[in-house]
Every structure is written in structure tokens, then in C-alpha cells.
Amino acid sequence: MDAIQVITMEKLLVNLINNATLYNILENISLHLPENYELIAGARIENIHLYYYFITVAAIGDAHHIKIILNIPLKTANRHYCVVQNTRFVDANF
């Protein structure tokens, strides 16, 4: 049985997910949101730097896999929410 490690970080780092990849993730999420929901700063490339401040990150992994969990803020006209995006990296080295 492999040991599982959980790492929690406060903020998303640029060297973890680059601007282009983060933009693609946010654009994909925005296309699948229910009606009246939107990303807190929109899905425009000029706002990408704001998400490095807004998104919180956790990583869960074992000897063979690592899963990155992003808490991404959402909003409606009256409320703010969080959506979780999971990304799986196979055979990652620790």
C-alpha cells in the first residue's frame, strides 16, 4: 500500500500552472458553468494575474500520481461560490 501525502498551499504559483494553461482551464470552466454563474474576474487573458491571488491550491499524491485541486471563486449577481478543478498527473516525481 502506497502512502498518500496531502500538501496544502495558500496561493497558486506561476511555476505550478503557467498563464496559458490556467487561461485554458478557466476558459473551459466558464463554458460549462450553469446559467447566471461566472468566474469572479471573468475568463479574459488580461485578468489572469488576478487568479493567482484568488485561487487556493491543494495537492494529493502517492508514489505514482499527484492530483492538483484548485478552488476557483465563482459569482452570481448576488453571491460568490467556489468550484473545484481536479488535474491528474501520472507518474510524477516527488
Query: Which residue has better confidence, 22 or 76?
Result: 22
A 10 A CB-CB count for 79 gives: 9
Amino acid at 74: L
Question: pLDDT tens across 23-72, in order?
Answer: 999 999 999 988 888 888 888 899 999 998 888 888 787 778 888 888 88
Q: What predicted TM-score, i.e. pTM, was given to this entire model?
A: 0.68
The answer to whether 81 and 39 have CB atoms below 8 angstroms apart is no
Predicted local distance difference test score (pLDDT) of residue 94:
45
Total residue length of the chain: 94
Measured CA to CA, the distance from residue 69 to residue 77 in angstroms comes to 26
Q: Distance (Å, rounded) from C-alpha 53 to C-alpha 55?
A: 6
What pLDDT is attached to residue 48?
92
CA distances from 51 to 2, 28, 48 (A): 33, 15, 6
